[in-house]
Chain A
Amino acid sequence: MNAPTPAPLDHLAADLVRRGLPVEYAQRAAAELADHHRDLVAELRATGLDEAAASAEASRRLGDSHSLVKKTVRAYQRRYWCGRWRWTMFVFAPIPLLFVAWLGTIALFALFIVWPLDALGFSGPVETFDGIISTKEWAFACLVQAWFLFVVPAATMFGLARFARWAAIDWRWVAASACVLALSVCVASCGFPAAELHHRMTDGSPVPADRFVMTVGLVIPSPSAASRAWYRDQFGRILLPFAVAAVVLIRNRQLALRSEQLVLNGC
């Protein structure tokens, strides 16, 4: 049967779980520290100290609960690359990761859809721009826009949040990634040229209405010209990474609370 946990280390396992460590690891670390505390008390009592003085001295030598939690969590985080290089992973890497994900999907699309169709002789006629957006063109634009501006950034954010969870990284780093991704997605846009933005070709002529355009750069139309749909789209894109991060973090929090119950129940 396990001996009772020394009072100064009462909530250690629960604190470790709350900081994102797996239950088994938290319980084991807390049990080892509690054992160590008991050994120190026994050693000090053998020198003639009473129980209270021995316990206080043992706690001093072992370190207070707060610093033990901090050291244990940091050591756990440092096992993972993303825990050792948090700035790189959660602040600088999201933009390159997003680009890699975009390029990766283009490459996969070309390799598994365009190239086999071409090889089998199913490639369609050369695209012409007649200024009329057909249903097919509209559907294609919606699909590409949804994929590039919503699905890929959301998947990237989800991946980063999962990395943070594995390495027990603080939610602030996930929030930083969400900010970086939201800004990156905000400056990229694709779709048919909005009339109020007056897109022009390099020769100065207006871009045909059915020509799919992809642009990178902050587009801020005048308030009178910008449509409600444009603002809705921009806000949607900005909020999406935050929404994904929030969902993952809330889910983690629920799991941590459930795990905390397990720790407290000694399961």
Chain B
Amino acid sequence: MIATAGNNGEKDRSDCLVTLELVQSGGIQIEVMSKVNALYGEDIRLLCKSILDFFSIEHAVLEISDKGALPFVIAARVEAAIKQLKQTDEQYLLEMLPENLYHTVADQPRTTRLYLPGNTPSLMINAGIHKPEGVILDLEDAVAFHKKGEARLLVRNALRNLSFMGVERMVRINQMPAGLEDLDYVIPHHVNLVLVPKCESAAQIHSVNERIALIQNKTGTPGPVWLMPIIESARGVLKSLEIAEAAENVIAMAIGLEDYTADMGVNRTNEGVESLFARVQVVHACKAAGIQAIDSVFSDVGDMIALKANVQASKALGFEGMGCIHPRQVSVIRENFAPTEVEIDAAKKIVDAFKIASEKGLGVVSLGTKMIDAPVVKRAMRTIDLAVALGRLEKNWSDKELE
């Protein structure tokens, strides 16, 4: 039996194809064909050897055809090949980078989240430089069915060994129940948030949380893991409040319109009339539950003008973020969700008035001749917080203005 894992197609970069045959005798034979052979040939051989040793393989023929894969990729590919031939629960874990050990908080902005196909290393490596609020390592739709197994190992290794430069690290698992198994490969490796696709009930959220608790106990890896269910069906839309309120760690909910429109048997349009009910319903469920409402991705990566219109419409409905499927979408989405100059100026005046009233011990906030209600103050504060978080306003804006 010969196993293969990885990719070395003409367009593949930063990846490798590993071919492994377990044999009866002859020891370990490793053949490396690599564009970086002159620089890292020996390094690659040593890594392969140590993984084979780890899995107690004594006789094997391993060929690696490499297009500049980083060590975390090579390790995932070799392990994936081994696991096709050998039943084992052992995992070859690379060093956990200290800079990946950060937690995120429930209500931080999630305006832009960049989708990264879970089996395509070249798109992961520089994802952090584009500074989205989060990256989504996608095990679901972006990975071909027969590549699911190796993608899990690659995503696991990326969570441990690849720096995403401080952005929130998210994983989209597969649809229930297969998605539960994906959790074994991500929860112990400091994932910040899990996206639960095609969510249709609170029970699904509960089963995800049970599995997470089980893994955390077993591996001793506590820490908040936030959930973001994705609503992608008529049933999901109708159950959205139940899902949004299913657990404390559900801190945002997204809508996925490709699957939703397919489920409804309607065409998806740029104007989005066909999904208006679903979007409004999801936003309402989120607001009722006090969590973030996240809109579907916009799939034409070449059309920034249509994307801008789409974001503005989304913001008007009450959404607070959108998935990105290309790094160039990040800035357009952020800019158009961010509070405008006019919104920021109005909010600053309200917050200042509120501060003055509090300092003077006044119960009533007024701006000029207008009375300001508490919810207006609250909204203004949210606008200010978001403006600061998205870099539109300096953190110490109010001190600066007093100077």
- A complexed with B: no
Chain A residues in the interface with B (C-beta under 8 A):
none
